Amino acid sequence: MLLDYEILKLAWWVLVGVLLIGFAITDGMDMGVGNLLPFLGKTDTERRIIINTVGPHWEGNQVWFITAGGAIFAAWPAVYAAAFSGFYLAMLLVLFALFFRPVGFDYRSKIESTKWRNAWDWGIFAGGFIPALIFGVAFGNLLQGVPFHLDEFLRVTYDATFIWALIPLLNPFAILAGLISVAMLTGHGATWLQMRADESIAARARQTGAILGVTTALLFALAGLWIRIGNFDYFVIVSQPPLDALPNPLTKEVAMQAGALFNIYSSHPFAIAAPLVGIAGPLLMAAMSYLGRGGFAFFFSALGMTGIISTAGLSMFPFIMPSSSDMTSSLTIWDASSSHLTLTVMFWAAVIFMPIVLGYTIWCYARMWGRITVEEIDARSHSAY
């Protein structure tokens, strides 16, 4: 059954957002734990405890990342092409950093050497910190526009040389967005350790979670003030074909407007819930961490992440990847989508299989639930982690 094309375009904007939030909550938790590994683990046994809290789940959690990338490729092929052109070096850096995580998990315990294990612990840290920072920097650049253009055949060209392609991405606002991402994911990892790690580690994780919750809220609020006070120019659509028309980004007219990132909140007041949750979630996470309520801290951390990511998506709507060098080439949910049939097939596949994946994931967490203790780790000294 073919659903309305306009509704499908909007539905896939929501579904891709859900996948990105799912990735942040699950695999972001693993990254956050990796970021804390060299600091909260004072002994080799404590570091093994930290690793074992995510050991059974991290590979499954990465599926959210792979699925989100696949969904972007299938639902928005033009966005996929432009992103992998413009962010090529950044994505390679993410990929190389992510190599350290599986190798670190599998190889750190192969040799009983302090130097060997410490080196892999810092590799696991790099595998969490670098992707978290770059993902935030990427979002920060999307909020400002990326220099690319489309030719008459809709081929993407990135308007920067290969050597210097990474430098313009490291602008002050993008770095702030990267710091928000690092604080958010690391704090989320701290809430996980509060529930799963031995009490000595959990106590340190509570202090860390309280600090990072407040830090995330303050940095997120600072970014909002920066945009408001700085009166950021953003992209607005002046004219475009019908929303259910065949995709062609070059058939619309785009202009810049001061403060346009806040337009969604005046036209749809309910959207203000996203930034409010983005601030309240980390603050409540900090409060629950301070009170020793790890489960509530994890919930409010996930809620805050949902609010922060939703704020970015809603503020940019309907743009997915705006172009700072050729505004007409900017990609939106209306003109960067795949065909009607492709979106329909993918939609029904998501409706059928996502509940199955979610159910299996919840079952896995339930079956492997429990606090990892020093005694348990000492009892299996020859385990993989």
**Residues 187-234: tens digit of each pLDDT:** 999 999 999 999 999 999 999 999 999 999 999 999 999 998 877 889
Pick from 165, 279, 171: nearest CA to 218: 279
Query: Measured between alpha carbons, how far is 43 from 383 in angstroms, rounded to an integer?
Result: 17
**Position 226 in a domain:** yes
Task: State the total domains in the chain.
Answer: 1
**Position 290 in a domain:** no
Token output for 219: 């940095």
What is the extent of the structural domain holding 89? 5-230+343-379
Token output for 367: 């079956």
pLDDT tens for 26-70 read 989 999 999 999 999 999 889 999 998 988 888 778 888 888 888
| Most trustworthy range by pLDDT among 108-117, 268-277, 322-331 | 268-277
**Position 258 in a domain:** no
**Position 137 in a domain:** yes
Instruction: Kindly tell me if the per-residue pLDDT of 86 is higher than 90.
Output: no
Query: Measured between alpha carbons, how far is 254 from 240 in angstroms, rounded to an integer?
Result: 9
Phi/psi of residue 166, each to 5°? -85, -25
Secondary structure element (H or E) that encloses residue 199, with its range: helix 199-230
**Position 336 in a domain:** no
Q: What is the pTM of this model?
A: 0.92
**Position 317 in a domain:** no
Q: Give the Å distances, CA to CA, from 15 to 1, 68, 295, 310.
A: 19, 9, 26, 12
Specify the 3-state DSSP secondary structure of 168.
Answer: helix
Query: Measured between alpha carbons, how far is 180 from 202 in angstroms, rounded to an integer?
Result: 23
**Position 105 in a domain:** yes
Query: Measured between alpha carbons, how far is 136 from 145 in angstroms, rounded to an integer?
Result: 14
Cis check for the bond before 242: say yes or no (omega within 30 of 0): no
Q: Quote the radius of gyration of the chain (alpha carbons, Å).
A: 22
**Position 52 in a domain:** yes
> Do the bridges between strand 319-321 and strand 331-332 make them parallel or antiparallel, or are there none, so unpaired?
antiparallel
